[in-house]
Structure 1
Amino acid sequence: MASEGASGAASGGQLQEKLDLSKETDAKIEQARTLVNAGQLPEALALLSALEKQCRVGNDNPSLVRVCEESLKLCRQVGDEDAMVDTIQSLVTRRSQKTSAVKALVQTALPWCVEEPFAPLPVSTDSEIAFRDRLVVVLRDVTDGKLFLERERAQLTRALATIKEQQGDISEAANVLQDVHVETYGSLSKKDKIEFILEQMRLTLAKKDFVRAAIVAGKVSKKNLAEENMKTYKVQFYTLMTIYHRHDKNALDLARDYHAIYLTPHILADGVKWREALQATVVFLALSPYDNEQQDMLNRIALEENLEKLPACKKTIDLLLKKEIINYPMTHQAELEALPVCHEGGEDLAAHWHEVFHRRIIQHNIRVVSVYYKRIHGARLAQLLQLEPARVEKEIASMVSEGSIYAKIDRPKDIVRFSQPKTAEAVLSDWASDIDKLLNLVETTTHLIDKENMTSS
């Protein structure tokens, strides 16, 4: 007969009695193993089931955990899949089952279907695959809604998504992962969370659900990606973001993505990878609309030492930063457009980038002309830009609409005015400023003359 132990936690106003059933557990586990070796698995499970109830009622948690683990191991030893599933479902749903027992059941069965951290177990035969898939589903049902098993649920969910993907059902795989808000799980490390979110992003993008992909991407902290041990995840994240921004045809965001990849230490250490990343950064900067951020990035890229090793990229940056008209096609433009990043997404997207390249050069040239000319004949402007007058007028109208330049076109006289007329207040302010400067000059000159007279006398 088991000896009586110390009193336990209070329940219903009374102290729960704790029993020490370790000796009885040792004896019955050994007896169950003997029965299994004799081919009597049902009898062994019945013996352990009765022992499980004694341990649960007697609040002997260590022995309870041992009994639950042994029950599953015996099923595994025999290879009886149905018995294993029935045992899990039966033990988990027992009245007042201890959390330690449920956790032990899940953690014992988990290595039989999931590898660390989130991959399903590689299997070879059809029967092994069927058992793995069945066990993943059963364990996911067990972990549903249990905070103490949130890490295990994340692993099982990731494994189920991989199984769906292997079966060719990308949409369902993405839907499975969407149900898990891993960013709220306190038991997962930052690396595990980011790895899980990156997988959510990958499947969501594969499903072509770009709206949800943007929402998921917002869960990733850029600060965490900047940490030394996160550099691999940083490259994965920004590589996925290039897919999203390429779909949006957002050249400036693509330039930011590739620049972030380029600045990663292990990319800088790889001669091939940093070249690809820096070339892509320059290409998409050239394709970006003119604004302060684009100009800031151009100036920062121009200071990169590695740019000297990429003549086509350096020449392109220099041309875009100079206030000079660029001839079309631009020097080395064919080399830049032949890069693989310009052809990712299909030939239609490559044709789009080619057209945008032409537009950016035209817009650059118009901005240069607006700096040096207050007004110019439309025919002369078209001649300088080597374009049809209608195309020039269209681009000027577009730039004025975007607010990047000021211009007015007088069609009857064929004159384009780039100087903005001043208001009466502005003219008066300029006049007052000029008078102030003149008086300062007069005062300074008078002082110098007086000083010279005093010195000579």
Structure 2
Amino acid sequence: MSSQLEKSIESIITSQTDVNNKLDQLLKLEKQNRLKEHADQKDSMLILESIHKLLSSCNQNDKLIETLEILIKKHGQFKQNIFDFVVLIIESLAEVEQLNKLIPILDNKIYLELAYCKLVDKIADSYIEKKELHKAYDSISKLDLENVNTIDLDLKLSILIKQMKLCNQLKKYEDTIIYSKKIIPKQIFKFKHLKEKFEREYYLLLIEVYNDSNDYYKIGSTLNLMIDSDPEFKEDELIDCINFLIFSDYDTHLNISLLSSLQKQNKDLIKLIEVKKLLDSFLSKDLIFADEKKSLIVEGKYSFQKPKFDDHVKVFNLKIIEHNIRVISTYYENIRIERLIELLNIDSKSVNVEGVIMDMINNNQITAKINRPLGIINFVPYGNDNKNIITQWTDNLELLLNHIDVIDNLIEKEKIVHGI
């Protein structure tokens, strides 16, 4: 770096002339440096920093933006210097109106795409601070991060999470899902700093979406992922995980597999006596009696909370009925519907037992036939036909894969403990 250049800059800055005159002299100095045979990148950056310092200190931000627009058009500029100059300007501007003036200047310039992302991110933050969420969403939703090759993962995730959060706040849940698919947890959260910084918020935002649409299995399975990846998870998250998996459609490969795994693997259930009782009851081969239902309801952060409390109680009661029917199907070959209602201890006027049984048959929870004229249900044990052989094979395969996942998690924990 030329000491002569430093003296020239100092002389201009400390002169008694006005700001415009000083700027003209600095721009003239910049042009001389740029056009000389062996232009120096460091010297060029020093001049740009001096221009920024001069105009910022005098609160001449509009002039600073105009100067940037002029310099970008000049041939022979060092692109890295212009990039750094742009970043300096973005960091120094506070007014969202001035930040918006930079958008057309930076747009469609590949070497400034990262600066453009930082600019839009700051604009969105400014709108969020002012509670102008629609404007924040409109600005940040224009970013297509897939085509930004120079962006680092930290900034990319920060923007994607912000996009998801804004979508949730504006009830644009379909857009949340679109943005969430741009994050691949297994690839991204294997990096410790990204996992610690973003993983939890990412999953919580998805749970908000699933909770709105009553997608119980996705809520439960997402919470299960959080519990598996975070040893310091909250108790109400484990409660919600179990509740929502119970609310889910019965499937031995999905919710029942996860519930069984939690029952066997999760040591924290010992501290949550009521939740353990619920899980043990639901996975047992015993009937759950009517007087037990209230004691099995355990509130979580999302489950059994207003405004969905009544819906959750209704679903929970249905799952208890389904559980009891599955249990009865293992002990009875046939049973009268009146006797089944008596055993279930339910009000036949409020619950269509026959309809519940038909749904369970259609969903492969039980195999049965209903003789309506006689009012008898015939429970048919699973045979050894090809369909059931395939079902047993997939059950065994699912069990094997679960064991592999558990072993993989244990190996990872050992690696972390021993610093391998």
TM-score bracket relative to the smaller structure: 0.7 to 0.9
CA deviations 1:331-372 (Å, max 9, x no partner) are 554651x3332255xx34222111100111111111112222
Q: CA deviation at 1:300?
A: 1.1
Q: CA deviation at 1:132?
A: 2.7
> Are residues 110 and 266 of structure 1, via their aligned partners in 2, closer, same or farther at CA, if it must alter by over 3 Å?
farther
For 2:112, the equivalent position in structure 1 comes to 149
Please, which of 24, 29, 32 is the counterpart of residue 12 of structure 2? 32
For 1:106, the equivalent position in structure 2 comes to 86
Do the aligned partners of 2:237 and 2:301 also contact (CA within 8 Å) in 1? no
CA deviations 1:405-446 (Å, max 9, x no partner) are 2222222111112217989999xxxxxxxxxxxxxxxxxxxx
Give the Cα–Cα distance (whole angstroms) in 1 for the partners of residues 380 and 25 of structure 2. 96
Do the aligned partners of 2:304 and 2:313 also contact (CA within 8 Å) in 1? no
Letter in 2 for 1:397: M
Letter in 2 for 1:225: F
For 1:350, the equivalent position in structure 2 comes to 309
Please, which of 189, 202, 207 is the counterpart of residue 237 of structure 1? 202
For 2:138, the equivalent position in structure 1 comes to 175
Letter in 2 for 1:370: S
1:50-61 correspondence runs (5 A): 50-58=28-36, 59-61=39-41
State the secondary structure of the residue aligned to 2:370: strand
Do the aligned partners of 1:72 and 1:87 also contact (CA within 8 Å) in 2? no
State the secondary structure of the residue aligned to 2:150: coil
State the secondary structure of the residue aligned to 2:377: strand
State the secondary structure of the residue aligned to 1:263: helix
Q: CA deviation at 1:221?
A: 1.7
For 2:249, the equivalent position in structure 1 comes to 289
For 2:44, the equivalent position in structure 1 comes to 64
CA deviations 1:223-280 (Å, max 9, x no partner) are 1224433134211111111101101211121112222222344525xxxxx3122112
Greater Cα radius of gyration, structure 1 or 2: 1
Do the aligned partners of 1:315 and 1:331 also contact (CA within 8 Å) in 2? no
For 1:319, the equivalent position in structure 2 comes to 281
State the secondary structure of the residue aligned to 2:335: strand
Do the aligned partners of 2:62 and 2:98 also contact (CA within 8 Å) in 1? no
Q: Is it true that 1:409 corresponds to 2:370 in the alignment?
A: yes
> Are residues 226 and 96 of structure 1, via their aligned partners in 2, closer, same or farther at CA, if it must alter by over 3 Å?
closer
Do the aligned partners of 1:325 and 1:365 also contact (CA within 8 Å) in 2? yes
For 1:299, the equivalent position in structure 2 comes to 260
Normalising by structure 1, report the TM-score.
Answer: 0.76
Q: Greater relative contact order: 1 or 2 (C-alpha under 8 angstroms, separation 6 or more)?
A: 2
> Are residues 170 and 255 of structure 1, via their aligned partners in 2, closer, same or farther at CA, if it must alter by over 3 Å?
same
1:85-164 correspondence runs (5 A): 85-95=65-75, 97-113=77-93, 131-164=94-127
State the secondary structure of the residue aligned to 2:287: coil
Do the aligned partners of 1:235 and 1:264 also contact (CA within 8 Å) in 2? no
Q: Is it true that 1:248 corresponds to 2:228 in the alignment?
A: no
For 2:400, the equivalent position in structure 1 comes to none
For 1:448, the equivalent position in structure 2 comes to none
> Are residues 257 and 249 of structure 1, via their aligned partners in 2, closer, same or farther at CA, if it must alter by over 3 Å?
same
More displaced stretch, 192-201 vs 41-50: 192-201
Letter in 1 for 2:283: L
Please, which of 133, 151, 154 is the counterpart of residue 191 of structure 1? 154
> Are residues 52 and 423 of structure 1, via their aligned partners in 2, closer, same or farther at CA, if it must alter by over 3 Å?
closer
Q: CA deviation at 1:183?
A: 4.4
> Are residues 420 and 323 of structure 1, via their aligned partners in 2, closer, same or farther at CA, if it must alter by over 3 Å?
closer
Q: CA deviation at 1:96?
A: 5.0
Q: CA deviation at 1:217?
A: 0.8
The alignment covers a number of residue pairs equal to 379
Give the Cα–Cα distance (whole angstroms) in 2 for the partners of residues 423 and 237 of structure 1. 45
Q: CA RMSD for the aligned pairs?
A: 2.7
> Are residues 226 and 284 of structure 1, via their aligned partners in 2, closer, same or farther at CA, if it must alter by over 3 Å?
farther
Unpaired runs of 5+ in structure 2? Answer: 388-420
Please, which of 363, 369, 386 is the counterpart of residue 328 of structure 2? 369
